[in-house]
Amino acid sequence: MSYMKSKEKIIMALEIRYRAPGNKQGTLTVEAHTPVRLLCDLFGKELSLDPTTVVVLSGYPPRPLDTTKTLQELDIKSGTPVIIQVGAGGVTKEGRGMPIVSDGSDIAMKLLGNDKILTHDKKNFKAADLRSSVDYFAIYFSAHWCPPCKAFTPLLVQTYKTLKVSGKRFEIIFATLDREEKQWDEYWASMPWAALPYGDRRNQSLAEALEVKGIPTLVIFDNVGRVVQSEGRQAVITDPSGAKFPWK
């Protein structure tokens, strides 16, 4: 889809990735000075979604976005993931934009989607399975080439094993920022938990949505995908035995 009248008139074009119900996904190209309200309208019309569609610009804090602002004014950058869901608010039947709201309540589940999550024993699973299999899970952003990551990972492994032995229903998902698949493979082999595949778009979209500024980063969620601790790394360092788990 495109919302560009002519290339000559474009000051700056942004490409925004979207994912919608019915396995609809792709890239929307818009001008940087496009109001968020019009973006909301476009998704409602072009994708033929329910009038109560909500457009969530991932990575934004849990507050209504000003739909009178442009993408440029809101500092929306190319590659920003957009989640489109059916729910309260969104686009009215007349097609005019209402405030776009992201409450951040289950952002992890939305971005993990229905694609597989890998395990060492090949018993791969999907994000939805976490609702019944764990009470909490974490996403671990890390990379083989990162010295602080390689120093922290052994500590996290010990904490993870301690929690599992004590009966805690907890899982970790490795989201790699590695640059080579061989390095990713070797690094994941040192971890006893699950992982997103190398090269999977979710590695980057989750990092962007959760505003990961550096690695290693450990973000802990409850089993419906709500963030309970965004500073998981520090929590593990100060409480490696997991006595205060899940460190709310």
pLDDT for 51 equals 46
Whether residue 173 contacts residue 45, with contact meaning beta carbons closer than 8 Å, is answered with: no
Quickly list H helices, 54-129. Answer: 107-112
- Residue 10 burial class via C-beta count within 10 angstroms: exposed 0-12, middle 13-18, buried 19 and up: middle
Quickly list H helices, 53-125. Answer: 107-112
pLDDT for 197 equals 95
The model's pLDDT over 60-80, given as tens digits with 9 standing for 90+, comes to 443 445 666 777 776 666 655
Strands (E), 32-150: 53-57, 64-65, 81-86, 100-101, 136-142
In Å, what is the CA distance from 222 to each residue of 108, 133, 172, 215, 240?
Answer: 10, 11, 12, 22, 19
Residue 22, helix vs strand vs coil:
coil
Q: List the beta bridge partners of residue 125.
A: 117
Which residue ranges does the chain devote to CATH 3.10.20.90?
A: 2-103
pTM of the model: 0.61
pLDDT for 225 equals 87
Q: List the beta bridge partners of residue 14.
A: 30
Question: Which residue positions in the chain have pLDDT lower than 50?
Answer: 1-11, 51-52, 59-64, 85-104
- Closest Cα to residue 136, out of 220, 244, 243, 232? 220
User: Options 3.10.20.90, 1.20.120.1200, 3.90.1330.10, 3.90.420.10; which CATH number does 2-103 get?
Assistant: 3.10.20.90
Task: Name the fold adopted by 109-238.
Answer: Glutaredoxin (3.40.30)
pLDDT for 207 equals 87
The percent of residues above 70 in pLDDT, for the chain, comes to: 62
Which residue ranges does the chain devote to CATH 3.40.30.10?
A: 109-238
Residue 3, helix vs strand vs coil:
strand
Across the beta sheet with 2-3, the strand order is 2-3, 24-31, 13-20, 81-86, 53-57
